[in-house]
Structure 1
Amino acid sequence: MNAQGLILLIAPPAMGAAIGYLCGGRLAGLRDLRLSALWLLWLAAAVQAAQYYVTPLRHPALLILVFGLVLWWLALNLNAWTLAIRVAGVAITIGALANGLAIALNGRMPYEPTAAEAVGLRPGLTTPKNEPSDDTTRLAFLGDTVPVPPLSKVVSPGDLLIGAGTVALTALAMRLRRDRPDPQAQTIKGGES
Structure 2
Amino acid sequence: MSVQGLILLIAPPALGVLVGYLCGGRLAGLRGIRLSALWLLWLAAAVQAAQYYVTPLRHPALLILVFGLVLCWLAVNLAAWPRALRLAGIAITAGALANGLAIAANGRMPYEPAAAEAVGLRPGLTTPKNAPAHDATRLAFLGDTIPVALLNKVVSPGDVLIGAGTVALTALAMRRRRDRPDPEPQPVKGGEP
Q: Provide the TM-score with structure 1 as the length reference.
A: 0.93
What is the Cα deviation at residue 180 of structure 1? Answer: 5.2
Deviations 1:65-118 (A, max 9, x none): 000000000000001111000000000000000000000000000000000000
> Residue 136 of structure 1: SS of its match in structure 2?
coil
Alpha-carbon distance, 1:133 to partner: 0.1
**Residue of structure 2 equivalent to 1:52:** 52
Q: Which residue of 2 aligns with 1:27?
A: 27
SS in 1 for 2:154: strand
Partner of 2:188: none
| Alpha-carbon distance between aligned partners in 2 of 1:2 and 1:113, rounded to the nearest angstrom | 20
1:1-193 → structure 2 map (5 Å cutoff): 1-179=1-179
Q: Give the secondary-structure state (helix, strand or coil) at the position aligned to 2:5.
A: helix
Aligned alpha-carbon RMSD (Å): 0.8
Per-residue displacement from partner, 1:21-45 (whole Å, max 9, x unpaired)?
A: 0000000100111000000000000
Structure 1's consecutive aligned runs of 4 or more residues displaced over 3 angstroms after TM superposition are none
In the aligned structure 2, how far is the partner of 1:49 from the partner of 1:178? 33
The share of aligned pairs that are identical, in percent, is: 84
Any unmatched runs of 5+ in structure 2? 182-193
Classify the secondary structure of the residue corresponding to 1:110.
strand
Between the two proteins, the alignment pairs up a number of residues equal to 181
| Counterparts of 2:119 and 2:173, CA distance in 1 | 34
Q: Whose helix proportion is higher, 1 or 2? A: 1
Report the TM-score, using the length of structure 2 for normalisation: 0.93
Structure 1: runs of 5 or more not aligned: 182-193
Give me the whole-angstrom Cα distance separating, in 2, the residues matched to 1:20 and 1:178: 16
